[in-house]
């Protein structure tokens, strides 16, 4: 820093914008942990706004639910044509024709999204577009009570999209229509399920053909009412090391689990790994020696 610049800093006080742009971007990346912080930074100053608007969109989880938030973000994308390509993490949901039209438009423009959370209607619409640009999206969360797979796999780009997904979280259970043959690169799968041995064995057999699958997580919010899974579940966990049962806390939310992974916290997958290792230690401690 030159003497004249040092004098200006001492005289006028330190301003964040005086940092080198690369360092400032790094600092802002760590501080922009939510959409609320992102909006606040946009209002600090014009010079900071120009840096935050695009750069921080790459790290902030964009959460859009309800007509007002959808319209507001749609206006932001329209005012800055480059901004859609900077969105990486998108949680978007709505009901009714007006909201669906906005959702389809927003998702279609955010072609560099890495982690997408939406419903199957939105996904089917995306996969039905004339061209498919969303090749970076590898993580998908479906937030709905029932997943309609038929329109997705029947869409023009449905099979291509499914093939690129590595992490899939289903808000509800794994229904019989789950098109497993399209998810050729799936390594992590999570779905809601009661920790009953017969259910889990059925899923284990059904998913046996997915060779790339490393972790299968069954989540259940009611599991805390039981001390431990029954003997049949323990047997399954012993035979199929891909499986983990995750006890959801009472304050568990799907959005919270999704957001924590983006922020670098303990994701659903990391919590499941810890749970699986803990169950292994428990089983080994009470295993009866042979002979």
Q: Each residue's pLDDT tens digit in the chain (291 positions)?
A: 555 544 444 455 545 555 444 544 454 554 555 555 656 665 555 666 666 666 677 878 889 999 999 999 999 899 888 889 999 999 999 999 999 999 999 999 999 999 999 999 999 999 999 999 999 999 999 998 788 899 999 999 999 999 999 999 998 888 888 999 999 999 999 998 877 777 788 888 889 889 899 999 988 755 444 445 566 777 777 788 888 888 877 777 888 888 888 877 778 898 888 877 776 544 554 454 555
List 205's β-bridge partners, or say none: none
d(CA 127, CA 162): 10
Provide the whole-model pTM: 0.81
d(CA 96, CA 119): 13
Half-sphere exposure of 75 (CA within 13 A, CB side): 6
* Whole-number pLDDT of residue 288: 47
**Cβ atoms within 10 Å, residue 189:** 25
* Whole-number pLDDT of residue 234: 76
Half-sphere exposure of 110 (CA within 13 A, CB side): 28
Query: What 3-state DSSP class applies to 140?
Result: strand
Distance of CA 215 to the CA centre of its chain: 16
d(CA 140, CA 115): 6
List 33's β-bridge partners, or say none: none
């Amino acid at each position: 820093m030159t003497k004249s610049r040092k004098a200006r800093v001492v005289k006028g006080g330190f301003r964040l914008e005086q940092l080198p742009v690369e360092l400032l971007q790094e600092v802002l990346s760590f501080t922009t942990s939510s959409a609320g912080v992102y909006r606040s930074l946009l209002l600090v100053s014009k010079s900071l706004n120009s840096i935050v608007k695009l750069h921080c969109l790459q790290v902030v989880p964009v959460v859009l639910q309800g007509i007002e938030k959808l319209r507001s973000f749609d206006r932001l994308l329209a005012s800055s044509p480059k901004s859609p390509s900077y969105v990486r993490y998108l949680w978007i949901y709505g009901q009714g024709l007006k909201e669906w039209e906005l959702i389809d438009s927003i998702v279609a423009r955010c072609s560099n999204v890495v982690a997408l959370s939406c419903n199957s209607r939105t996904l089917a619409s995306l996969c039905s577009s004339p061209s498919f640009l969303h090749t970076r999206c590898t993580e998908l969360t479906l937030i709905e009570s029932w997943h309609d797979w038929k329109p997705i796999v029947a869409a023009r780009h449905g099979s291509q999209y499914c093939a690129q997904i590595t992490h899939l979280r289903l808000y509800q259970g794994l229904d019989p229509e789950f098109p497993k043959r399209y998810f050729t690169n799936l390594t992590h799968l999570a779905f809601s399920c009661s920790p009953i041995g017969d259910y889990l064995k059925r899923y284990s057999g059904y998913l046996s053909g997915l060779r790339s699958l490393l972790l299968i997580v069954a989540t259940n919010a009611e599991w805390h009412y039981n001390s431990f899974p029954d003997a049949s579940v323990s047997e399954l966990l012993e035979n199929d090391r891909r499986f983990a049962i995750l006890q959801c806390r009472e304050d568990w939310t799907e959005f919270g689990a999704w957001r924590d992974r983006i922020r670098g916290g303990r994701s659903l997958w990391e919590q499941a790994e810890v749970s699986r290792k803990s169950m292994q230690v428990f089983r080994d401690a009470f295993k009866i020696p042979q002979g």
